[in-house]
Structure 1
Amino acid sequence: MTLNWGHKITLAFSAFVVFMFVMVYKSMKTDFQLVTKEYYKDELAYQQVIDGTNRANKLSGSVVVTQANNELIIQLPTEMRGKAISGNIWLYCSSDDKKDRRLELAVDENGKQVINSKNMLPANYLLKVTWKADELSYYNEQHIELK
């Protein structure tokens, strides 16, 4: 049996339809993750992040993060020692939102907080620290790799 031009057009159209069904199926199975569910609200409040970053950059030092054994140690700049500090920590993993961790910032009198990282999965994280001291808000973010 030879294929005439009518058969070729039918085969091409059928292949195109099958290709489209495969693409629709794959697109429906794709897992997409947003950084945050309230991205519009967060975008409107982003000026606070900019102001907090500028204030944190004017301090004598930055937030220092070290890893020792199964602990993640966060040390705030020296100006924060002895102050009443409140805030939060967000360990953001861009590759998998199930690895994200949000913690309350609870530093000691020296401005240091120790976090048990034993239960955290190894990954590259963006550590976002937001804190408030003396009615001023501060913000710092840095990349860390938990091992």
Structure 2
Amino acid sequence: MKINWGTSIVLVFIGFISFILYFVIKMNTNQNYEHDLVTEDYYKKELAFQDEINAEENSKTLTKDITVKKKAEGLVISFPKDKNYNDIKGTIFLYRPSNKKLDIKIPISLSDSTFVIKDQNLLDGRWNITIDWKYQGISYLFKKSITY
């Protein structure tokens, strides 16, 4: 059987379309390729964005800001020493961009001016740290991206 060039072009198109459809169906049905938003409450967070901007501006007025360092025991977060650590309240949020299931949210409870996140809770890779804290009714916000 002899195939002319017109039939060959049609066969190539059919093969290409089949190839594309196979991958579209595979990507939509496989649970390993979940399609997640960055945050679940995107619109709710957007409404509170001005409060976040104000808290970041308050952080810029501090004489000494929060420091984050990787040490042997884990991730050490040091709050300003000129603030009374008993009056500091808030949350520490560790966001893992590659896997939503690894995100960690920890309430701040200090026994001194440092807070330690144990090494076994953190995997190697990129983390976005957001520390939302209040001191004497004033909100502060610290954001940093680190590679652990």
Provide TM-score, normalisation by structure 2. 0.85
**What does residue 117 of structure 1 align with?**
119
Residue correspondence of structure 1 range 35-74 to structure 2 within 5 A: 35-74=38-77
Deviations 1:5-45 (A, max 9, x none): 55234313422331331232243133333221111111111
- CA distance in 1 between partners of 2:13 and 2:143 (Å): 52
**What does residue 134 of structure 2 align with?**
132
SS in 2 for 1:80: coil
Specify every segment of 5 or more residues in structure 1 that has no aligned partner in the other structure, as ranges: none
Instruction: Kindly report the root-mean-square deviation, in angstroms, between the aligned alpha carbons of the 2 structures.
Output: 2.0
Specify every segment of 5 or more residues in structure 2 that has no aligned partner in the other structure, as ranges: none
SS in 2 for 1:61: coil
**What does residue 10 of structure 2 align with?**
10
Contact 1:60–1:78 (Cα < 8 Å) also in 2 = no
**What does residue 105 of structure 1 align with?**
108
Contact 2:92–2:106 (Cα < 8 Å) also in 1 = yes
Count of equivalent residues: 145
**What does residue 75 of structure 1 align with?**
78
**What does residue 84 of structure 1 align with?**
87
Contact 2:85–2:110 (Cα < 8 Å) also in 1 = no
Q: Percent identity, please.
A: 30
Pairwise CA distance, 1:106: 1.2
